[in-house]
């Protein structure tokens, strides 16, 4: 797999984690403050941790490997800033979502649903930017061999990360 394929796999994992997070909210709503579901709060907090961890891992790989190649293609400053802004904005939305989830009573979910919806928009906006603008540009401008080499290194890195996680749990 080349680096773009590794990152696209990361996007699929992120969308999967996000879908798990939103599953309990997928029911008719639109009743404002009387918007109620019976949330399993323990499970919600676990799903939040899962999503945050997946985002952090993905962001780390991008920061490490994309930063390197973005310099090579001399990407214009605006595009580079858009990518960093996406990560910052996701970080802020995730903090807000985590805080609202902690104060949620597990039944009245209007504020939580609203922030979750915004978080989903932010996530899709960022992933779409990378998939439609950034990645095709890198594919066009960088040699296949370099993309493959970076992919190999990113996979080795993530294998080490998951090995550490397993060892940490043992």
- Interacting residues toward Fe ion by CB under 5 A: 62, 130
Nearest-approach distance from CB 1 to Fe ion, in angstroms = 15
CB 14 within 8 A of CB 125: no
Report in angstroms how near the CB of residue 96 gets to Fe ion at its nearest. 19
Which residue's CB is nearer to Fe ion, number 73 or number 102? 73
Which sign, positive or negative, has the C-alpha torsion 47, 49, 50, 54? positive
How many angstroms separate the CA atoms of 161 and 136, rounded? 27
In the complex, the smallest distance separating the C-beta of residue 67 from Fe ion, rounded to whole angstroms, is: 11
Q: Which residue, 47 or 130, is less far from Fe ion as judged by CB?
A: 130
Using a CB cutoff of 8 Å and minimum separation of 24, what contacts does 38-41 make? Answer: 38/106, 38/107, 39/104, 39/106, 39/107, 39/109, 40/106, 41/104, 41/106
In the complex, minimum distance from the CB of residue 85 to Fe ion, in angstroms, rounded to a whole number? 10
Minimum CB distance to Fe ion smaller for 97 or for 135: 135
Q: Which is nearer to Fe ion, 39 or 119 (CB)?
A: 119
Q: What is the DSSP letter of 14?
A: H
Residue nearest to Fe ion (CB): 130
């Amino acid at each position: 797999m080349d680096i773009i394929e590794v990152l696209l796999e990361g996007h699929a994992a992120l969308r999967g984690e996000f879908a798990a997070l939103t599953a309990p909210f997928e029911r008719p709503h639109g009743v404002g403050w009387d918007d109620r579901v019976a949330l399993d709060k323990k499970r919600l907090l676990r799903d939040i941790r899962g999503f945050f961890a997946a985002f952090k891992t993905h962001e780390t790989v991008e920061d490490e490997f994309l930063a390197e190649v973005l310099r090579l293609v001399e990407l214009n400053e605006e595009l580079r800033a858009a990518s960093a802004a996406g990560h910052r904005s996701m970080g802020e939305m995730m903090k807000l979502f985590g805080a609202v989830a902690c104060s949620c009573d597990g039944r009245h979910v209007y504020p939580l649903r609203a922030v979750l919806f915004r978080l989903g928009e932010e996530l899709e906006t960022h992933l779409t930017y990378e998939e439609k603008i950034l990645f095709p540009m890198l594919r066009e401008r960088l040699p296949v061999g370099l993309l493959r080499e970076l992919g190999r290194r990113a996979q080795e890195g993530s294998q080490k990360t998951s090995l550490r996680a397993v060892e940490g749990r043992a």
